[in-house]
Amino acid sequence: MEIFYHVLINPNSGGGNGRIVGEKIIDYLSEHQLAFDVRFTGYPDHERQFIRELAQTTLREYQPEDQSNQPYPLLLIIGGDGTIHQVVNELYRLKKQFPIAYIPAGSGNDFARALNLPKDPVAIIEHIHQNTQPTFCHILHYDEAIYGEEGLALNNVGIGLDAAIVYETNHSKVKDILQKFNLLSFSYLSAVIQTLVKQRSFPILVEANGQTYNFKKAYLCTTSNHPYFGGGIPIAPKASVFQNKLDLIIIEKPSMLLVPWIAFKIFTRKHLEAKFCHYIQANKIKIVSTIAQHGQADGEELGERSYDITFDLIEQPFWF
Ligand SMILES: Nc1ncnc2c1ncn2[C@@H]1O[C@H](COP(=O)(O)OP(=O)(O)OP(=O)(O)O)[C@@H](O)[C@H]1O
C-alpha cells in the first residue's frame, strides 16, 4: 500500500527531544523517497488545530479494500504522551477514527511501552512502513458528571497522589531553570518527594461489577488500560491495551517509613496482593471523590476539585 505520511511534531516534548527525533524521521523519509509533509507545533494545544485542518481536508478512515487511487494518508505523531493525548481527544471530538502512527519523544513515553514499541525511532518508522493495516487498541473513555466533561486517555487517569505530582512538577518554580540544564528528572524527583509527604488520604466510593466499595483512606487512585505510569512504573501489571478491561488501583496512605517497601513491591509487580493495595478489574468503573483532589489524564492536569467520574473503553486504531 502506498502511504503519504502527515507528520506532526511537538519539538518541545521530552525537553527538546521531539525536534531531534523529528529530524531523524524526516531524514529517514527523505532518504527513502517516501511521500510526506511535516508540521511543527509552536505552542500548547497547537496539535488540535493541525488535526482539525487535516481531518477536514486530507485524512480518511482506513478500509481494508481501499478503492481510492490516492496514497493512504497516514497521520504520524512525534511527541510525548501529552501530545498523543491531545491528538486522540481532538479526533474523538470530531468523531473520526483515523489510524495513528506514533513515535515517542517525550520524557515518560508510557503509551509507547504499552505498545511495546522499539526504543530506536528509526526501527519504529521501519515497522510502520512495513505494516499494511492498523491494530485496534482499547483506550480509556471518561465522563465526569460534576463539570460535564468527557474525554479519552491513552494511559491512565489518576485522582490523588499521581495527579498531585503532575501538578507539583508543572508548577515547580525551578522547573524552567532545570529544563535549561536538561535536569527535568530532578524537578520530577523533587515533586515526587514533596508530594508523597504532602498528599493526605481521602475517601472515595467505587462502583464496579455490580458492587459498591468504600475506601476511607485512598492516597493514589489510578484507572489504567495498560501497566505503566510515571515513565515505566508498572502500577497496573495485569492491564493491557489489547483486552477490553479497565484496571483500577487504589493505594491507601501508608506510614512514610513504609514508602520504600511499597515502591519495591510496585517495581517488582508484587503489590496487587498486598494489604495496602486494592485492585479491581471491570469494563465500567465509577469513582466518586467528594473531597477536592488533583486529577490527571495522561499527565495533563484535570484540576483540583471533586470528581464523579465514570470510565469505560473505546477502540482506537494505531499503525505500528
Ligand atoms: N511547541 C510547543 N511548545 C510548548 N508546548 C507544546 C508545544 N506543542 C505542544 N505542546 C503541549 O505540550 C504538551 C505535551 O507535551 P508531551 O507530554 O508530549 O511532552 P513531555 O511532557 O515531554 O512528555 P511525556 O508526557 O512523555 O513526559 C501538550 O499539552 C501539548 O499541547
Flag whether 320 is in a domain: no
Q: Is 81 in the pocket of ligand 1 (CB under 6 A)?
A: yes
Same domain for 34 and 87, yes or no, is yes
How does residue 178 score in pLDDT terms, banded at 50, 70 and 90? Answer: low
Question: Both 288 and 156 in a single domain?
Answer: yes
Say if residue 229 is in the same domain as residue 98: no
Q: What angle do CA 87, 250, 171 make, to 5 degrees?
A: 50
Residue (of 318, 316, 320) closest to 89 by Cα position? 316
| Cα of 242 from ligand 1 centre, angstroms | 26
CB of 237 closer than 6 A to ligand 1?
Answer: no
**How far does the centroid of ligand 1 lie from the alpha carbon of residue 14, in Å?**
8
Percent of the chain scored above 70 by pLDDT? Answer: 96
Going from the Cα of 38 to the center of ligand 1, the distance in angstroms, rounded, reads 17
Q: Would you state the pLDDT for residue 182? A: 61
CA 108 to chain centroid, in Å, comes to 9
Give the mean pLDDT of the chain: 95
- 188 and 144 in one domain? yes
Decide the pairing of beta strands 156-160 and 285-297.
antiparallel
Pocket test for ligand 1, best of 45, 51, 81, 83 (most atoms within 8 A of CB): 83
At which of 104, 133, 162 does a domain end?
133
Give Cβ neighbours of residue 22 (< 8 Å, ≥ 6 apart).
Answer: 7, 9, 11, 38, 40, 78, 105
Of 10, 46, 300, best ligand 1 pocket probe by most atoms within 8 Å of the beta carbon? 10
CA distance 171 to 180: 16
Residue 273 CA to ligand 1 center (angstroms) comes to 35
- Residue 167 CA to ligand 1 centre (angstroms): 14
Concatenate the DSSP letters of all residues of 78-110 into one string.
Answer: EE-HHHHHHHHHHHHHTT----EEEEE-SSS-H
Are 174 and 306 contained in the same domain? Answer: yes
Q: If pLDDT is split at 50, 70 and 90, which confidence band does 180 have? A: low
Q: Once rounded to an integer, what is the mean pLDDT over residues 161-176?
A: 85
Per-residue model confidence (pLDDT) at position 191 = 84
By alpha-carbon position, which residue is closest to atom 18 of ligand 1?
80
Residue ranges making up the domain that contains 164: 140-315
Counting the structural domains of the chain, the total is: 2
**Among candidate residues 78, 108, 133, the one where a domain is terminated:** 133
pLDDT number for residue 208 = 98
d(CA 265, CA 271): 5
DSSP letter assigned to residue 256: G
For ligand 1, whether the C-beta of 18 sits within 6 Å is no
Question: Quick check: 86 pLDDT over 80?
Answer: yes
Does residue 156's CB lie within 6 angstroms of at least one atom of ligand 1? no
If residue 52 lies in a helix (H) or strand (E), which one and from where to where? helix 46-57
Task: Please tell me the predicted confidence (pLDDT) of residue 184.
Answer: 59
CA of 204 to the centre of ligand 1 (A): 31
Q: Which cell goes with 188?
A: 520530577
**Distance, CA of 192 to CA of 198 (rounded, Å):** 10
**Is 248 part of a structural domain of the chain?**
yes
**Among residues 84, 105, 133, which one ends one of the domains?**
133
pLDDT one-digit tens code per residue, 132-153:
999 999 999 999 999 999 999 9
7 and 113, same domain (yes or no): yes
Q: Is the CB of 73 under 6 A from ligand 1?
A: no
Q: Using a 6 Å cutoff on CB, does residue 160 contact ligand 1?
A: no
Residue range 82-87: mean pLDDT, rounded: 97
For the chain, percent of residues with pLDDT exceeding 90: 89
pLDDT tens readout for residues 247-285: 999 999 999 999 999 999 999 999 999 999 999 999 999
- 109 plus 201 within the same structural domain: no
Residue 125 in grid coordinates = 518508522
Q: How far apart are CA 248 and CA 225, in angstroms?
A: 9
Q: Are 223 and 247 in contact (CB under 8 A)?
A: yes
